[in-house]
Amino acid sequence: MSLSHYGPTKSPGFPDLAGNGHEANPELPACARGYYIQAAEEIQSLRARTEDSAELLIQLAEIYITQGYLNRAHSLLTVDVQNIKDGDDHARWAMGMMQCFTGAIVSGKIWTSLPEAGGIYSDAASFLKAYPTSHHALTIRLFYYRLIALCATFRPVEYQSQLDVLNAEICHLMSLLLRSKYFDNALWYIYSIQDEQLRLRSLEELLEEEGVMPLTVAKAQEELASMLKPTEHKQRREALRQQAYIILAKEHAHGALDIDFNVCYETIMDGNKSKYDEFLEYIDRYSELDFPNGLKMALHKCLDVARKAQNFDLQRCLEQELKKRSEETGTTLLWITSYINLVWQYHLRSGHTDLLKNTILEIYHEIAQYRLPMVQGQAASILSDIYVEQENAEEANRWALVCEEQWDQCIEATSSMGRLHKLKCEMLLISKREHSDYATAQSLCDKYVERDLSNKLYAEAISKLEIMLCFYHTTRTIPLEDRLHCIHSQLDRVNSIISSNTFPGSSLIKANIMQQQATYLISLGSQRQDCTMEEEAINLLNQALQAFFVGHGKTLTFALITSRMQLGLTWRICFQKYLQVGDTRCVQALAAAEDAFTACIPGWEALRNPTKVTESKYWLALVRYEARIVNWKPSKEVFESLIAAEQGFDDKRKEISISSALTAVQDKQRLAQDRHVRDIYCLVFQAKARSLSDTLGLGCIVPDSLLTAIAADEKAKELYEKEKLLALQITSSSNLDRFDIRVELRDLETQMMAHESLKNLLDLRHGAAVTTQQLSDRCSQAFSESGARKLVFVDWYVKGQEVFILIFKPGEEPTIRRVNASLQFIQSWLAKYFYSEQGRAEFLDRGENHPNQALRKMDCLIEWLEDATEPETTLVLSPAVPIDAVPLHALHIPQQMLDGRRRTVALIERNPVVYCSNMTAFIQCCERAATKQASKPSTSVFIAVYEDNEGVENDADEQDILYEATSDLATQIAGSSLIGREVSRPNLERCWQAADYIYFHGHCLTKPEVITDQALVLSTHPNASISLSHSEPVLVTVRDIFSLRLQAPHISLMACGSTSQKIEAGDEPLGLVTALLCAGAASVTGAMWPIASATARMFAEHFHAEIFRTKGYKMARSEKPVRQKEGDSMAETDVVDLAAALQKAVIRMKRTPQTRLPYHWAAFVVHGACFMKYAG
């Protein structure tokens, strides 16, 4: 559907015939020569000097319409017309018809304008018959014709026949005009003829006439040249343009420009890109003319070029310019119909879903008021496709029905597309049912196919058979024998249609059929031990790729790259089968699979399909991993592939990161549920290096060092402020505008990446996964800040039922080893011993060396660390789900003792340990810890709330001891304390956001099924009556914490299960730890499971003793901190090694008889940075 403009882009002029049928003065007016501003000024001048007349108003309105300002013309015809005193019925009919036409486009109320126009046309019938060539008759007939053409564009079934009748009338009128020598009027009509053959014939007839003015001849020659096919009439086109150019360059404002532009356009469309810059310069030249119709024509042709080049950014810019011009000229309705074409093309090319759904919904509801079935059906079809991809059968079918209903009002080819969507959704609905009623579906398909064949719509008929083929290939509810029979039947029918008929696009259809046959063969091969079927499928897929190239040239398409993906997957199947039987071709097969997936990545990137980029990268990482298993690839290459795979979510994560932090985490969890990537997660790495890392940047808490660097660069500062403005707009704009703002934001981020400070900011916000080299380089700062001698990163991931450990020492190649435990074994252990209170007692309440200690069954998870790491090395543990629930630091590992003997010890005794969701997140936490400085001295806050609330009753003695201990801690370091009923929500939020160190001791409520409701329990209002001690508790939830902005680098949470998290597909952790890190903390200490208050208090005393000792305090026998005196040997420092402090605190608890059981000491862990920095 093309709606680039209504009204001629070439201006033949409007002879002043005054209804008498006489030719105008040989000197054509300014409008006819393309000088629209001058022409309008001349008419306005006449109107000012004389009494306004109908003729002057009609001429001025015609000038505005030709120029492209339909809103000005409509205003003139609705407001100024009331001042007209003269004029007969003929003039008023002409003005009324023009008003109906302009009103239909300006207001969008086509169907309201149509009855009024029909009435005028009926009233004027006698006049039109008596004076067919008079100016008023020509005006009435022309604008009625244009209005009917507009209606036929949107609702062809109803109005195409009426348009055909008018075409016949136009033919008769053209003969009259030519016989009467009204050549300029004839050209005026020719520009508006919708039938291409009729327009060509009319132009030829006009050029054969004698006595036609040179300028009229030149304009007709250019119009004819632009319509003739270049392949058949190349020499004639050049000759016509050369002749026209000579006259137009002398006598017309933009005639020569039109020729130059069209020649340049055709050259580029033929594949010559050298004219690209020159082509864009023409847009500026059209803008200078104040000729909106010409500018819009040029912009539409630029859009064609951008689509051919698959330059979506340029398309978006051009559409925005078209939107601006449409708003200026009152043609917004036409812009919307053009805009939906842009979105349609983007959808077909990219396969995006989430980015488009809300935009299309808003477009649909906006155009519904205009009752435009072609456009409404187009919007509904896109929505149907989106819901099909999301496997939402009900919504997909609902929109398919809307599409079918709308397109049934259009021509048969369009109506067939509506039936295709309906069949596609019917198949999706059937596939969701337990028993597939495929006979009913096949009957529906047969009916649709027969209708298409009867209308010679061969490609459309085959597309429906392909839907059935896809259904039979994928469904498993039909017996295999019946399914194979149906597949053969569909393929035979497709081949019969292709062999019996010739039609456009047959090579591409053949390619699709080859792809379908390959899929069919692969499904057969899955039931065989050999590769016969797969090898034949590979041959077909290679032929399909060649056919796609023939059909599309060198243009990348979704189908082409999908075939290449399928080729890689098929080669991988061959590799597995060859490997099982010892066939040496397995090396060739795996190399071919790697090549195929490697080639897919730049293709999907060119099509801007981030989901498919991710999928390709994960498959590439998988085949390289499989090559590593058989020692064909080094570990480092495999590890780098895994990290590269995780960067595939970048585009969607950038959009998601604009949301609030909590919304972003939840959105990313939903993103990981996408079935296209979910299986890849299970197969490879579960996206561990891209989970919490980018969450830390959401919000976004920008380090002071980055803000300083940004402020020092004026351009960077300008871009940063612009990004903040766009982020604000995207959260408050409509879905229709948000689509464009998101694209603008991506363009801006490309500019930001050129500035080092902004690149670092984007890496922080988007969670850019670090490479091994970056990890080594950036760890050096963590070493210097934390004082750790060495850091070793330890990661666990799952592939199928196998569990692997990845050990990375900065500066060395990573090591990958298979763990001697299956996923099922770990899950069974957790279900038995961890997720039930009775089972948990079997390892928490038993000694480490008890013969039935359940923890010993999990020691295999860390056995590879004995040889790969050294004692006292700080370990950064990043376990995948479900290993994250295992207290890895409490598992046993052999250690060489000073006396030469070997015995097993808990990992935490051998090595300082810190947890973090992944390596990237750890680096970000350390960088945040290194830059965190207290804004005020002594703003540490110690909080203890141990009150009786509904469902929670506490030990009164423990309450007194706890409150006293917490107050003493705060007093000794000149910090502040909040105790008991002082801990209201307003007080807590105020203190937390101002403090440079936070300690909280209290209750934590955890709901695993709704982790965002995990909460710290506060006191009731401080003024509440004592009798209300059992009132409902006040909570601060995960949701609440996400909205805070914290200054403290470290937070200690002595609360039951405070570090427990819910980790969804994709390893997106969500809980108090995530919330606190997102709110600004660099590290969090907490407990993995419910613990007694006395145990937590004792750990806190030991832990803070180590912190204070580093800070320059020493502990008295009472364990209360005492400030060191001047001259003491312990010098005050700025840094605390949190991992070492935790290790020493745990060791003290293990060596204390009353806290020696794992229940007491194994619960406590540090998440995030391994150190904390104090302000000097």
Asked if residue 861 has pLDDT above 80, the reply is yes
Asked if residue 435 has pLDDT above 50, the reply is yes
pLDDT in tens, 906-921: 999 999 999 987 777 7
Report the pLDDT averaged over residues 646-650: 51
- Res. 18 pLDDT band, cuts 50 70 90: very low
Report the pLDDT averaged over residues 47-68: 86
Asked if residue 774 has pLDDT above 70, the reply is no
Asked if residue 480 has pLDDT above 80, the reply is no
Asked if residue 27 has pLDDT above 50, the reply is yes
Asked if residue 370 has pLDDT above 80, the reply is no
Q: To the nearest whole number, what is the mean pLDDT of the chain?
A: 76
Q: How many CB atoms lie within 10 A of CB 1168?
A: 31
Name the residue with higher pLDDT: 1140 or 195. Answer: 1140
The Cα–Cα gap between 259 and 134 comes to 32
Tokens 């000073």 found at: 898
pLDDT of residue 667: 44
Report the pLDDT averaged over residues 1120-1139: 54
Highest mean pLDDT pick, 53-67, 676-690, 1036-1050, 1058-1072: 53-67
Asked if residue 661 has pLDDT above 60, the reply is no
pLDDT of residue 768: 52
pLDDT of residue 1143: 94
pLDDT of residue 439: 81
The Cα–Cα gap between 204 and 1073 comes to 78
pLDDT in tens, 898-908: 666 778 899 99
Percent of the chain with pLDDT over 70: 76
Asked if residue 377 has pLDDT above 80, the reply is yes
- Res. 23 pLDDT band, cuts 50 70 90: very low
Instruction: Provide the 3-class DSSP secondary structure of residue 1115.
Output: strand
Range scoring the smallest mean pLDDT among 39-43, 308-312, 474-478 = 308-312
Name the residue with higher pLDDT: 800 or 376. Answer: 376
Range scoring the smallest mean pLDDT among 108-122, 540-554, 1131-1145 = 540-554
Asked if residue 553 has pLDDT above 60, the reply is no
Range scoring the smallest mean pLDDT among 201-215, 253-267, 312-326, 675-689 = 675-689
Report the pLDDT averaged over residues 469-478: 77
- Res. 635 pLDDT band, cuts 50 70 90: low
User: Phi and psi at residue 775, in whole multiples of 5°?
Assistant: -60, -45
Instruction: Provide the 3-class DSSP secondary structure of residue 769.
Output: coil
Asked if residue 137 has pLDDT above 60, the reply is yes
Highest mean pLDDT pick, 403-407, 762-766, 946-950: 403-407
What are the sequence ranges of the domains in the chain? 1-212, 609-686, 789-911, 933-1173
Name the residue with higher pLDDT: 75 or 432. Answer: 75
Q: Look at the domain 933-1173 and name its fold.
A: Rossmann fold (3.40.50)
- Res. 693 pLDDT band, cuts 50 70 90: very low
Percent of the chain with pLDDT over 90: 11
Report the pLDDT averaged over residues 435-452: 82
pLDDT of residue 13: 37
Name the residue with higher pLDDT: 50 or 1141. Answer: 1141
735-752 vs 354-367: helix crossing angle, rounded to 10: 140
- Res. 1142 pLDDT band, cuts 50 70 90: very high
Q: How many CB atoms lie within 10 A of CB 784?
A: 11
Report the pLDDT averaged over residues 604-609: 75
Name the amino acid, one letter, at 783.
Answer: F
* Closest to 83 in 3D by CA, of 118, 60, 52: 52
pLDDT in tens, 395-430: 888 888 888 888 887 778 778 888 887 887 877 777
Asked if residue 630 has pLDDT above 60, the reply is yes
Asked if residue 619 has pLDDT above 70, the reply is yes
Highest mean pLDDT pick, 238-247, 370-379, 714-723, 736-745: 238-247
1093-1111 vs 1138-1150: helix crossing angle, rounded to 10: 130
The Cα–Cα gap between 692 and 888 comes to 20
- Res. 247 pLDDT band, cuts 50 70 90: very high
**Structure-block tokens of residue 603:** 């293709």
pLDDT of residue 933: 55
pLDDT of residue 367: 76
**Structure-block tokens of residue 200:** 């060509």
Q: What angle do CA 372, 375, 376 make, to 5 degrees?
A: 75
Q: In the CATH scheme, what architecture does the domain 1-212 have?
A: Alpha Horseshoe (1.25)
- Res. 622 pLDDT band, cuts 50 70 90: confident
pLDDT of residue 97: 93
- Res. 655 pLDDT band, cuts 50 70 90: very low
Report the pLDDT averaged over residues 679-689: 34
pLDDT of residue 54: 85
pTM here is 0.48
pLDDT of residue 1116: 37
Asked if residue 626 has pLDDT above 90, the reply is no
pLDDT of residue 492: 84
Report the pLDDT averaged over residues 752-773: 69
pLDDT of residue 926: 80
pLDDT of residue 898: 65
The Cα–Cα gap between 427 and 436 comes to 9
User: Which pairs count as long-range contacts for 54-60, CB under 8 Å and 24+ apart, including other chains?
Assistant: 54/84, 54/86, 54/87, 54/91, 54/92, 54/94, 54/95, 55/16, 55/18, 55/87, 55/91, 57/81, 57/84, 57/95, 58/91, 58/94, 58/95, 58/98, 58/136, 58/139, 59/14, 59/16
Report the pLDDT averaged over residues 819-835: 87
Name the amino acid, one letter, at 32.
Answer: A
Domains 1-212 and 933-1173 agree in fold? no
Tell me the HSE value of 241 on the side-chain side, using a 13 A CA sphere.
Answer: 20
Report the pLDDT averaged over residues 80-89: 72
- Res. 325 pLDDT band, cuts 50 70 90: confident
The Cα–Cα gap between 965 and 478 comes to 70
User: Is the CB of residue 195 less than 8 Å from the CB of residue 177?
Assistant: no
Range scoring the smallest mean pLDDT among 57-71, 961-975, 1064-1078 = 1064-1078
Length of the chain, in residues: 1176
Asked if residue 313 has pLDDT above 70, the reply is no
Range scoring the smallest mean pLDDT among 396-405, 875-884, 1031-1040 = 1031-1040
Beta strands 1015-1018 and 1034-1037, pairing class = antiparallel
3-state secondary structure 408-450: CCCCHHHHHHHHHHHHHHHHHHHHHCCCCCHHHHHHHHHHHHH
Stated as kind and residue range, the H or E segment containing 934 is none
Asked if residue 296 has pLDDT above 90, the reply is no
* Closest to 96 in 3D by CA, of 74, 65, 63: 74
